[in-house]
Amino acid sequence: MTQTQASKTHTDVANFDRWTSSCFLPGAVVIDPGNSVLYATGGWRSDRPVWNEEACTNCMLCWVHCPDSSILVEDRIMTGIDYEHCKGCGICANECRFDALEMILEPDPLSEQAGAPVKGGN
C-alpha cells in the first residue's frame, strides 16, 4: 500500500468498519499496551520540578495530576520524582498548595552541571 493510499483509507470515515492496522503508516503508533515505561521521555524537559521534602505534606495532589505518573510514592508517602519520564510540564508545581515543588530551568546540556544529581528526585 502506498503512503497516499494508506492516508486516504485512514481518513475516509465512510470506510471506518474496514480499517485495519495495515491502514496506518508506521510511526506514532503504540502497538503493545503498557509499554510507556520503556520510553525515557525525560530528555524532552526544559524545566524540572524540584521537590522540597520538608515542606511536603504528602497530600498527593501532584500525584493525582501528573500526566506521566512521574511522582514516586511508596506506602502513601512521596519519595521523589521519576526524572527518567517526567516531561517537565509543571502541573505538579502548579497544583501543590504547600510550595513543596519548584520548577527550575534544566542546565545547558553542554555545561559542567549537566547530569549532576538534583536533590528531591530519583
Binding site for ligand SF4 (CB under 6 A): 49, 51, 56-62, 66, 68, 70-71, 78, 81, 86-92, 95-96, 98, 100-101
Query: Considering the complex, what minimum distance in angstroms separates the CB of residue 80 from ligand SF4?
Result: 10
For residues 99 and 102, what is the distance between their CA atoms, to the nearest angstrom? Answer: 7
Contact 25, 34 (CB under 8 A): no
Query: Considering the complex, what minimum distance in angstroms separates the CB of residue 34 from ligand SF4?
Result: 18
Query: Considering the complex, what minimum distance in angstroms separates the CB of residue 3 from ligand SF4?
Result: 34
Reference 49, options 117, 110, 95, 103; nearest CA is: 103
Other C-beta atoms closer than 10 Å to the C-beta of 93 total 20
Residue nearer to ligand SF4 on the CB measure, 15 or 36: 36
